[in-house]
Every structure is written in structure tokens, then in C-alpha cells.
Chain A
Amino acid sequence: MTEIAAFFDMGGYAAFVWPSLGLTLVIMLGLLLQTLRQLRVRQRRLADLEAQGAQRFRRQPGAQTSTTGRQS
């Protein structure tokens, strides 16, 4: 058996070791991707709303704080 094949065979435990590692990657990457996608969707919605809001509140002084947030 070649060295590489031996490595992938994991001493006969391949069916358990590789799924474990694979599942770990799937869950960790999945959570990360879900988080990033949700963040992007929300950022886009916020940008849209703020563009509308800027038009609607343009004539009111103080409306600019809406984009920078309240400073303490």
C-alpha cells in the first residue's frame, strides 16, 4: 500500500475519521457562510432604507445622525 493510500485508509478507520472531519468543516463553514450571507442581506436592506430615508428627511436638520449613529 502506498503511503498516501495508507494515510487515507486511517488504519481501517477511514469511514469514521473522514466523516468526522468533513462534518466539522461542513458545520463550521456552514455557520460562517450563513452569518456572512445574513450580514450582507441586512447591510443591503439598510443601505436601501437609508437612501430612501435620506430623501425623506433631507429638509430636517439632524437627520444626518442616522447614517453615523449617535455619538456618545
Chain B
Amino acid sequence: MSGLVLIVGRDLRLALRQSADAWLAVLFFVLTGALFPFGIGPEPSLLKLIAPGVIWVVALLAVLLSLERLFLADYEDGSLEQLLLSPLPLELAILGKVLAHWLTTGLPLIAAAPLLAVLFNMDMAGLGVLLLAMLLGTPILSLIGAIGAALTLGARRGGVLIPLLVLPLYIPALIFGVGATDAALAGLSARPDLMLLAALLLVMLVITPLAGAAALRQALE
């Protein structure tokens, strides 16, 4: 456990000293979100309707943007093979890195989401559920993304490959995440969608360490 804390601590420190990377994702999130009114027109009722969907899709793309550097720097400077040869199980090391990734990408996106909600004239009654769904959903994005990032290490055009591998797997999280918010906005119970998101999170918490470890091991062979 202390090894996991060490890894999270190191990655947070690294992210803090290169904070431009974290800001980039948030900036991308807000800017891309702000493009939609230009694309479809500033009609408030229309924007209100599509707000949860747009916020989720844009969050997903912002996470996608940050995935490549999840393992790449460690892979290129040799840290990854040292990590693999440390007594800490690789599965735990991956969880640590994913947790750090979420803290530096997912969490800032959640913090910025209310801003987009305001820009899209979203009914503030749904804001709580939106944030709760993102709290459950963005870790899923980091977890699934980690598998894609690990698989593409050393690949030609790795950065372009990640979206192709990861986006189809993101669809359930997108569906339940938007579903929860839409349900809340329609005055229905968001509970089923939130429960499904939580279940998906648990499933990925098991799959990612296993698949990620297999992927990293073969990448370092």
C-alpha cells in the first residue's frame, strides 16, 4: 500500500511541476465545449437540451488527449522497467499511476464542468447529478484509457492509435453518464444509471490492473 502512495505522490509531484499539461486538458475541455454554440446556433432551449451530452463527450475527448503521456515518459526514460522490477506488484503500480492521472485530469474537468453547464444554460437542478456522474465516470475513462496507453507503447503512430482502441470501450460510460444527468433533468431517478456507472467502475478496477500489467510486460520484453 505504501508503494502505491509513493507512486501517486511522485506522479502528482511530476504533474505539479509540469502543470501546463493538466491545464491543457481543462482548457481543451472548455474551449471545445464553447465551440458547439457556434456550430448549432445559440438557441438557449436547444443548448439546454444537449448540455449533458456535450459536456460528457467533450470531457471524454479531453481525457483522451491526456492519455498518451500516462506511460510514455516512464517508458522512454527507463522508469517503467525499474517500476516493473520493483518489489511492488505491477498491478498496484498501474492503479497508482491511474489514480494520479485521474487526480490531475478527471478532477480538474469535474471542477470546470459547472462553467460549461452555465454556458449551455443547463438547468442547475441537474448539476449535482452531473457532477456525481462525472465523479463516478471519469475514473472509468482513466482506467480504460490506461489499457490503451499501455498497449500502444512503442507502436508506430501510438498517439493516433489510442483513440481507435479506447473510444469504442468508452461508450458504456458515456451512455450511463449522460443517462444519469438526463434522468435528473427530466425529474426521474438518476439512481439506476449511477448504480450502473458504479458497477462499471468496479469492473474496470479489476480489469485495468490485469490487462495493463500484461500490456506493460509485453511492451518491455
Report A-B touching, CB under 8 Å: no
Which residues from chain A sit less than 8 Å from chain B, CB to CB? none
Which residues from chain B sit less than 8 Å from chain A, CB to CB? none
